[in-house]
Amino acid sequence: MAASLHGRSLLSMRDLSREEIHAILDLAAAQKRDLAALRRSAPFCGRTLAMIFQKPSLRTRVSFETGMTLMGGHAIYLSPADIKLGERESTEDIALVLSRYADIIMARVFGHSIVADLARHATVPVINGLSDFEHPCQILADLLTVRERKGKLEGLCGAYIGDGNNVANSLLFGAARVGMNFTVASPPGFEPTAPVVAEARKMAAATGAKIQVVNNPADAARGADMLYTDVWASMGQESEAAARREKFRGFQIDMPLLKLARPDALVLHCLPAHYGEEIAYDVTRSPNSAIFDQAENRMHAQNALMTLIAGDSHRKEGKDPR
């Protein structure tokens, strides 16, 4: 199953089968257990990751850069000023040029079409480090964290409280794929889109998972094995922040909401957190919180992903113009 990932890009959780997700998580867990062996093996010695950033980041940049260094490789940070996608140079040309230098391209962008265009034209694997539609690397880290704590994914009940954004989309797809029941609770008008929910339910039909969208946080939290949230206003939505605070009032993961979940329920947040808004500070420091394990696991999940997609014959067959 790991061989099926060789040379492929990752743009969406929909790109991965249930077995491929577990192959990534299995390797991530093994590499995490023995970082000294990973350093010695140096699977990316002499190889390069090109990192395109339209949006600034702490976890995405540091986890990818540290991971490549750990595995003997080198990561190049390309800031918004370095690469003005579609402005100074076409996305197609950028993809083709970077393919001549780098072994993997990671892009953290605004529009999902940008990372899709990069993958269409690149001759090396492209990883979606975040787009306005999905955040697959985050969800791989989330699933790794839940599996570490719970010992399984299938049959668990997860709940997401907040905006039906890119993280919610990827969680729905990821949970459906691995057989985790999942409920999203959002204020009216902020739910995940109908096509996303329909697609997640179609995926869930194959694994026996149940996908729900509700407007009451208590309905989602009751009996849940995991509570998850994200900021109410994502990057690029700063002008909406005040209005969103009013509309999302009551959608905070606080101690009363946590008490509705199972006693050993995990609390997750992809960070950065706005304490007092989407989550209470004391919840994040409670025994239920796994948010910093989750942050660490970004690196381990991404290391495993890169290892599996970028072997010796990593260039996409038939696409290298040299």
Token look-up 């192959």 returns 23
Q: Give yes or no: residues 127 and 166 share one domain.
A: no
pLDDT score for 320: 45
Q: Give yes or no: residues 171 and 259 share one domain.
A: yes
Count of structural domains, the chain: 2
> Which of these is catalytic: 135, 177, 244, 300?
135
138 catalytic? Reply is yes
Q: Give yes or no: residues 42 and 155 share one domain.
A: no
Q: Give yes or no: residues 27 and 127 share one domain.
A: yes
User: Checking DSSP bridges between strand 157-161 and strand 211-214, what pairing results, if any?
Assistant: unpaired
> Which of these is catalytic: 230, 269, 300, 302?
230
Q: Give yes or no: residues 155 and 123 share one domain.
A: no
Is residue 1 predicted with pLDDT exceeding 70? no
CATH number for the domain that contains residue 156: 3.40.50.1370
pLDDT score for 87: 79
Is residue 321 predicted with pLDDT exceeding 70? no
Q: Give yes or no: residues 302 and 267 share one domain.
A: no
In a domain, 261, yes or no: yes
Q: Which distant-in-sequence residues (6+ apart) come within 8 Å of 98 by Cβ? A: 50, 52, 105, 122, 124
Q: Give yes or no: residues 63 and 190 share one domain.
A: no
Q: In this predicted model, what pLDDT tens digit does every residue of 36-57 receive, in sequence order?
A: 999 999 999 999 999 999 988 8
Q: Give yes or no: residues 200 and 280 share one domain.
A: yes
pLDDT score for 314: 38
> Which of these is catalytic: 47, 59, 117, 138?
138
> Which of these is catalytic: 8, 103, 225, 270?
270
Q: In this predicted model, what pLDDT tens digit does every residue of 255-292 receive, in sequence order?
A: 999 999 999 999 999 999 999 999 999 999 999 999 99
Segments forming the whole domain that contains residue 222: 139-295
108 catalytic? Reply is yes
Q: In this predicted model, what pLDDT tens digit does every residue of 286-296 receive, in sequence order?
A: 999 999 999 99
Q: Structure pTM?
A: 0.94
In a domain, 319, yes or no: no
Q: Give yes or no: residues 93 and 161 share one domain.
A: no
The single-letter DSSP state of residue 198 is: H
